[in-house]
A and B are shown apart, each in its own frame.
Chain A
Amino acid sequence: MARKPAAGPASDPELLILSSLASGPKHGYAIMNDIAAFAEVAIGPGTLYTAITRLVEKKLIAPQASVGRQRPYRLTAHGAATLAEHLTSMRRVATVGLARLRPA
């Protein structure tokens, strides 16, 4: 069951959108459903499009030709590099954190 975004780096809407688009171009509705499926986080339409606006401005994603009233977005090369950098950093922190939590 999808839940509302919780605080923490893994629920950052921009990061979730970039992760969703890593598997290929999607329009807003598909991005929302994908995020709900893989991250179990429900992003509201307003939050989603605010994040999409910022990502387009930062040139991390780019709009494609509209299909009807829906417009797909794709990850740019810069977006893919930024996502990889963020996820690597998160993995490093997660690995250390989990190792330290493990009983000696």
Chain B
Amino acid sequence: MTTTDRIASALLRICPKSWRQEYGAEFEELLRSRPLTAWIIADVVRSGLGERARVTTLATRIGLVGMVATGGWMIWSGSPAVLLRESNKLLPRVIVLPLASDPYLLFLALLGGVIVARGGTPSAAGRAAATISFFTGLPVAIVGFLMLARLVPAVILGAAYAPSALSVLTAPLFRLPETWLLGSLGGYLTAKLLRHNGPERGVA
């Protein structure tokens, strides 16, 4: 395998799998047929990322924005502690504040409604809400993982509050069922509302 072949294969992997299945063979053949200049590599990287962004669901995109916001908030404040609160329940021991805030939960319920109004199912609305929460909580889980691997000292959470690494790691996961339920509920109520109003609209 030549260097060009290896670069062509690596470039192809930037494109989403579904796209590769359809166009991968001929695209790879085209890449191997000519010298891979910096301009061609940049063109393929840009197009591949564009295709990836295109196949990304709305929920994933919103989740990624949430992830950047959560991660940015932690970095800006200098400590993940601003996002965490000790729970008085047995499980979870730690609450991730943005994922438990009323505006966020209301947003998920409304989003569930929008998904159903646009032809989705309550189940899809629930999955979308869980996806958003997964990505939004990911920076907190990463902090927990780094604490578990002893790459980050627990002291970064502050002297007064030092939850275990495992409780920080799992804290965002505990929000997933609740957010799924809220998304589904928003979707279910919207479906009921649409069904209820449907015949009246038809008569009018």
Q: Is the CB of A47 within 8 A of B26?
A: no
CA distance A15 to B26 in the complex (A): 21
Report B39 CB to chain A, min CB distance, Å: 7
Listed stretches B44-52, B124-132, B173-181, B194-202; interface member: B44-52
CA distance A50 to B43 in the complex (A): 10
Q: Is the CB of B47 within 8 A of A69?
A: no
Q: Is B33 an interface residue (CB 8 A)?
A: yes
Report A93 CB to chain B, min CB distance, Å: 29
Q: Is the CB of A4 within 8 A of B39?
A: yes
Convert A1-33 into 0s and 1s, putting 1 for each residue whose CB lies closer than 8 angstroms to a CB of B.
Answer: 000100000000000000000000001110010
CA distance A52 to B31 in the complex (A): 15
Q: Is the CB of B26 within 8 A of A46?
A: no
Q: Is the CB of A70 within 8 A of B44?
A: no
Report A12 CB to chain B, min CB distance, Å: 15
From B25, B26, B27, B43, residue with most partner A Cβ within 10 Å: B26
Residue in A44, A68, A69 whose beta carbon sits within 8 Å of that of B40 in the complex: A44
Q: Is the CB of A69 within 8 A of B29?
A: yes
Q: Is the CB of A44 within 8 A of B44?
A: yes
- B33: chain A residues at CB < 8 Å are 29
Q: Is B86 an interface residue (CB 8 A)?
A: no
Convert B161-201 into 0s and 1s, putting 1 for each residue whose CB lies closer than 8 angstroms to a CB of A.
Answer: 00000000000000000000000000000000000000000
Report, as a range, how many residues of chain B touch the other chain. 20 to 34
Chain A, 53-75, CB within 8 A of any chain B CB: 53, 66, 68-71
CB-CB under 8 A for A29 and B47, given A45-B40, A49-B23, A53-B19: no
Report B37 CB to chain A, min CB distance, Å: 9
- B39: chain A residues at CB < 8 Å are 4, 44
Q: Is B5 an interface residue (CB 8 A)?
A: no
Q: Is the CB of A49 within 8 A of B27?
A: yes
CB-CB under 8 A for A46 and B23, given A28-B30, A29-B30, A29-B33: no
Residue in B23, B25, B30, B46 whose beta carbon sits within 8 Å of that of A53 in the complex: B23
Return the chain B residue nearest A32 by Cβ.
Answer: B30
Return the chain A residue nearest B25 by Cβ.
Answer: A69
From A27, A32, A47, residue with most partner B Cβ within 10 Å: A47
